[in-house]
Structure 1
Amino acid sequence: MSAALDAQLQKATNEYRKIETDLANAVEARQRLDIQLTENEQEFKSLTSDNDVYKLIGPVLVKQDQSEAKSNVEKRLEYIRNEISRVEIQLKELNGRQEKKRLQLVHLQGQMESQQPSAGAITA
């Protein structure tokens, strides 16, 4: 087995592992954003005009105008949706990179196997 091929395989393996880690982190970020989105959407779902809304400022709850609170939550929801879109794009890109790197690894492993002497070969 050539040292150069072995080095290429090791480098490609390390790059693949890095992509896997990045992909796992992106999936985790996407899940966190989904949870935040759900929580924020539920926040005002059952709110009626008779309900009071309070905002936590430091250790104190301060009464807040309901329309202002709804506006703030809508801005937060918009931000979260934009972040979800950004993470979705990142996930697609990482999946593409992972597939390319996987194919490269398969190719390199095939080259290594073709360079190894056959296990069933008879030598005199």
Structure 2
Amino acid sequence: MEKGSAALLKKLQAELESYQTSQKTFMKLAKQRTILEGQLNENKWVLDELNLLGPDNKVYKLYGPVLVKQDLEESRQNVGKRIEYISKELKSSNKTLETMEKDIGKHRENVQKLQQQYQVAVAMK
């Protein structure tokens, strides 16, 4: 194998590894985003249920194996804060995934270009 085509092959392999690593990272982040979306929906549902309760209703929070009475307004505030936090995390996750999608696209283009260059170099031998 010629030095030029060997160097191209090495570049192609490195770019391919980088592309695959980016894809794996993207999949992990997408899975985390799905979990966050589920948590957000669950907490919104809990807040909706808490908002249906009147001042005479009692709210309990599970601490380990024990149910502890909690103030209704405090429960609403806690769930509201959780929703706010999860929403921020979700927004950040979405931005990261958008950036990664662009990077993956660049890696894909580079891999295709290097494959074409390698094929030309090998065919010219």
In structure 2, what is the equivalent of residue 121 of structure 1? none
CA RMSD in angstroms, aligned pairs only:
1.3
* 1:1-124 matched pairs, under 5 angstroms: 2-46=5-49, 47-49=52-54, 50-117=56-123
Structure 2 Cα separation of the partners of residues 28 and 67 of structure 1? 33
Q: Percent identity?
A: 37
Runs (5+) with no aligned partner, structure 2: none
1:59 positional shift: 2.0
Q: 1:45 aligns to what SS in structure 2?
A: helix
What letter is aligned with 2:53?
A: T
Structure 2 Cα separation of the partners of residues 71 and 13 of structure 1? 48
Q: 1:63 aligns to what SS in structure 2?
A: strand
Higher helix share: 2
**TM-score scaled to structure 1, two decimals?**
0.90
1:104 positional shift: 0.5
What letter is aligned with 1:89?
A: K
Cα-to-partner distance string for 1:57-94 (whole Å, 9 max, x where unaligned) = 23211000000000000010001000001100110110
The count of corresponding residues between Structure 1 and Structure 2 is 118
**TM-score scaled to structure 2, two decimals?**
0.89
